[in-house]
C-alpha cells in the first residue's frame, strides 16, 4: 500500500492482492524408523552406527546396511538321551549307509538351533509342558510337541521385517544400525537404547519400530520356589526399551511406537499349560509397557508365519557344514550306486554321477565357496547350491522345510507397511484395520473371538490388537486400539495419529509467526490459515460433522484465548477443537420376524 505514494514515473501500475490465506501443508504421517542390527553400516568407507539414514527402497538398505543374517542350523538324528527320531517325530529323512548290515537305513533328522539361531521355545518352557511322568526327551529340537516342524525366530529380525514393510505397502523410512551381526548373536538393550536416542534427535519419523526388541535376553527364572507350570520369562531390557520408546513419543509428540509382544514365539497351542502361558505372556507385556504415555503405543499379536523367505534363498551356508556333507554324501551314494554291487559302500562307489556330486559336496567347505561378501562369491554359492538341489531331491525337501522353520517374524514391520498403505489410499483418519496382510501364511497362533475379547478390551485398558486368520480371507488385522484403551480421547489408533498429524502440521506452519506482532491482524491470519487447513481435512472425510462449523473451531484473540497478561508475556494462544472420527468397532444387527396373520 505504501508504494502508492512512491511513484515517480507516470503510467499505469498493477498491484495484486492474495485472495486466500496462506495454506498449511500436511506433514507426512507414515515415516517409520527401524532400529536394529545390520550386516554392515558403511558410508564412504566409514562405519556410521547410531546414525539415522533415510531410505526409499530395499535396494537403498542393501547398499548401506548389507543383506540378511545367515542363520545356521544343525541337524541331529538322536535326542540328547541317544534315542533315534522316527517318522512321526522328525523334520526330514535320509538314507544312511549301515556298515554292519552293508545296506542303507532310513534315518530321521530334526533341525536344531545353532549358536546363531534363537530357539522357538526355551527348554525350560518345553519342560513345563510335559506331564510329570512323561519320559520324553526334547533337547534343542525345533520340532513342535507332535514332531511337526515349527517356525522360530532367527538371531536378527530387522532385514526381513523391512522386507515385510515393503511387501505391505511401505515406502520411505529411516533405519538406524546399532551394531553388526556377530557369531554370538547378542542383542543388547544398551545398543537399542542408544539407537532410540539417535532417532529422537531426528525430525521426520512418525513411527518407531524395533523388531529385534523381542530377542533381548530373558531374565533368569525364579529358583526358590521354582517357576510354576505355565511360567513365561520376562525381560528387564525389553521393559526398559518399551518405556523409553513411549517416553520419547510423549516428549516429541510427533510419533507413535509400535510394539511386538515379548515371548510370543514360546507359545504353543498344544502345550498342556497353553492358556496359562498365553495369559502370562500378555500380562508380562502389559507390565512391561508401564502406565504412562500409553496413548502413543500400539501393539500387535501374535507373530506371523510369513512367506518372505523363499526356499531359493536358502543355501548350504544355512546348514552346519559337516552334518550336511555327511547326509548329502550318503543320499547321493544311495541314489547313484556303484556299477558292481560288491562295491556298495559309499567310499567304494565308482558311479560317475555320484563322483560328480561327491566333488560338489566336498567343495562346500572350501573358503572360496563360502565367501558371500562379493558378487563373484555369491554367484559361486548360488551355482553350487543349485547343482546340489538338482542332483539330490532330498536336499530340496530339506530346504523347503528349513524355509518354513525360518519364516516366523514379529508383526511390527508388516504393520508399519499397512499404516503407510492405509494413509496413502484412505487417509490417516481411517483405522488401519480389517486389512489382509501380504506375504503372510498365517498367524503363529490362531485366536478366536472369545480369546481376542480380553485382549481388545482388557480391564487395565492396555489393549492388544490381534491378527486373526479368517476362512476365505487369510490373516487380517482385527484391531485398532492404542494401549490407552480406557481413554475416551485416545482409545483408537487413528484418533491418536490424526491428532499428531494436525498438531504437527499446524505447529510447523505457525513457526512463521514467531516474533510477529501479537495483534489482531496476526490473529486473524492465524485463524484463517488454520481454518483453511481443517476445512480441507473435513472435506476429505477426516473430521466429523455435516458442515465445517460442526467439525472444528479455531480461536485466537484477546478475550477468547488470551488475557492482556498473556500478550504482555509474549504468548499467542491458538485454541483448536476437533470432532474426531471413531471407527465402527462393534456393529450390532437386530432382526425382527414379521408373522403373517392367520
What pLDDT is attached to residue 325?
Answer: 93
Quickly count helices (H) and strands (E) in the chain.
16, 18
Domains of the chain in sequence order = 32-69+153-309+408-493 (3.40.50.11780), 73-113+119-150+310-405 (no CATH), 514-598 (no CATH)
Burial annotation 137-166 (CB, 10 A radius, 16+ → b, else e):
ebbbbbbbbebebbbbbbbbbbbbbbbbbb
pTM of the model: 0.88
C-alpha cell at 588: 450390532
pLDDT in the model for residue 139: 32
**CA of 392: how far to CAs of 235, 336, 360, in Å?**
44, 10, 11
b or e along 336-353 (b: 16 or more beta carbons within 10 Å of the residue's beta carbon)? bbbeeeeebebeebebee
DSSP conformation letters of 129-155: TS-TT-----TTB-B-TTS-B-----S
Position 135 scores a pLDDT of 33
Average pLDDT for runs of 10 along the chain of length 598: 69 77 87 96 87 96 92 85 84 84 86 54 38 33 48 83 97 97 83 98 97 94 89 96 98 97 92 94 98 98 94 91 91 81 62 88 91 88 94 92 90 98 96 96 94 95 97 95 94 95 93 92 93 94 92 92 93 92 68 63
Structure confidence at residue 568 (pLDDT): 94
Q: What pLDDT score does 348 carry? A: 64
Q: Compute the residue count for the chain.
A: 598
List residues bridging with 297 in a β-sheet: 257
Q: How far apart, in whole angstroms, are the C-alpha atoms of residue 524 and residue 21?
A: 10
Amino acid at each position: 500500500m505504501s508504494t502508492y505514494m512512491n511513484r515517480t514515473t507516470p503510467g499505469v501500475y498493477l498491484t495484486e492482492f492474495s485472495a486466500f490465506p496462506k495454506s498449511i501443508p500436511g506433514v507426512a504421517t507414515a515415516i517409520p524408523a527401524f532400529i536394529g542390527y545390520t550386516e554392515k553400516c558403511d558410508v564412504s568407507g566409514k562405519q556410521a552406527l547410531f546414525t539415522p539414514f533415510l531410505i526409499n527402497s530395499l535396494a537403498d538398505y542393501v547398499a548401506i546396511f548389507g543383506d540378511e543374517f545367515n542363520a545356521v542350523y544343525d541337524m541331529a538324528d538322536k535326542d540328547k538321551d541317544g534315542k533315534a527320531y522316527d517318522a512321526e517325530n522328525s523334520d526330514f529323512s535320509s538314507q544312511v549307509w549301515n556298515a554292519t548290515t552293508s545296506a542303507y537305513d532310513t534315518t530321521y533328522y530334526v533341525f536344531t538351533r545353532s549358536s546363531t539361531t534363537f530357539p522357538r521355545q526355551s527348554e525350560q518352557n518345553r519342560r513345563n509342558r510335559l506331564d510329570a511322568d512323561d519320559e520324553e526327551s526334547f533337547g534343542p529340537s525345533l520340532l513342535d510337541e507332535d514332531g511337526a516342524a515349527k517356525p522360530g525366530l532367527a538371531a536378527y529380525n530387522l532385514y526381513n521385517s523391512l522386507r515385510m514393510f515393503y511387501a505391505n505397502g511401505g515406502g520411505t523410512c529411516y533405519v538406524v544400525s546399532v551394531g553388526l551381526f556377530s557369531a554370538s548373536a547378542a542383542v543388547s538393550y544398551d545398543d537399542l537404547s542408544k539407537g532410540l536416542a539417535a532417532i529422537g534427535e531426528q525430525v521426520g519419523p512418525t513411527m518407531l519400530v524395533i523388531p529385534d526388541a523381542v530377542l533381548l535376553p530373558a531374565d533368569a527364572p525364579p529358583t526358590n520356589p521354582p517357576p510354576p507350570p505355565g511360567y513365561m520369562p520376562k525381560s528387564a531390557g525389553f521393559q526398559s526399551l518399551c518405556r523409553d520408546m513411549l517416553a520419547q513419543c510423549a516428549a516429541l509428540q510427533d510419533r507413535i511406537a509400535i510394539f511386538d509382544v515379548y515371548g510370543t514365539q514360546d507359545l504353543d497351542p498344544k502345550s498342556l499349560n497353553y492358556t496359562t502361558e498365553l495369559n502370562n505372556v500378555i500380562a508380562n507385556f502389559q507390565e512391561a509397557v508401564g502406565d504412562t504415555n500409553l496413548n502413543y503405543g500400539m501393539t500387535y499379536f501374535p507373530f506371523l508365519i510369513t512367506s518372505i523367505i523363499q526356499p531359493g534363498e536358502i543355501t548350504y551356508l544355512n546348514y552346519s557344514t559337516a552334518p550336511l556333507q555327511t547326509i548329502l554324501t550318503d543320499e547321493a551314494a544311495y541314489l547313484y550306486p556303484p556299477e558292481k554291487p560288491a562295491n556298495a559302500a559309499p567310499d567304494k562307489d565308482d558311479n560317475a554321477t555320484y563322483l560328480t556330486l561327491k566333488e560338489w559336496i566336498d567343495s562346500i567347505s572350501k573358503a572360496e565357496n563360502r565367501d558371500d561378501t562379493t558378487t563373484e562369491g555369491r554367484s559361486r554359492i548360488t551355482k553350487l547350491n543349485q547343482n546340489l538341489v538338482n542332483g539330490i531331491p532330498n536336499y530340496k525337501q530339506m530346504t523347503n522345510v528349513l524355509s518354513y522353520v525360518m519364516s516366523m517374524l514379529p508383526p511390527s514391520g508388516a504393520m508399519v507397511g499397512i499404516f503407510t498403505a492405509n494413509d496413502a489410499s484412505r487417509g490417516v483418519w481411517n483405522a488401519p484395520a480389517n486389512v489382509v496382510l501380504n506375504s503372510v501364511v498365517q498367524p503363529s497362533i490362531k485366536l478366536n473371538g472369545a480369546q481376542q475379547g480380553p485382549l481388545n478390551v482388557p480391564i487395565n485398558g492396555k489393549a492388544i490388537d490381534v491378527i486373526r486368520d479368517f476362512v476365505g480371507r487369510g490373516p487380517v488385522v482385527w484391531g485398532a486400539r492404542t494401549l490407552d484403551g480406557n481413554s475416551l480421547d485416545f482409545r483408537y489408533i487413528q484418533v491418536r495419529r490424526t491428532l499428531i498429524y494436525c498438531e504437527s502440521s499446524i505447529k510447523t506452519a505457525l513457526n512463521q509467526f514467531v516474533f510477529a506482532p501479537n495483534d489482531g491482524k496476526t490473529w486473524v491470519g492465524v485463524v484463517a490459515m488454520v481454518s483453511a487447513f481443517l476445512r480441507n481435512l473435513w472435506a476429505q472425510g477426516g473430521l466429523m460433522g455435516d458442515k465445517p462449523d460442526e467439525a472444528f473451531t479455531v480461536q485466537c484473540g484477546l478475550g477468547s484465548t488470551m488475557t492482556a497478561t498473556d500478550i504482555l508475556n509474549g504468548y499467542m494462544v491458538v485454541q483448536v477443537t476437533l470432532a474426531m472420527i471413531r471407527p465402527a468397532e462393534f456393529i450390532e444387527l437386530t432382526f425382527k420376524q414379521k408373522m403373517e396373520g392367520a
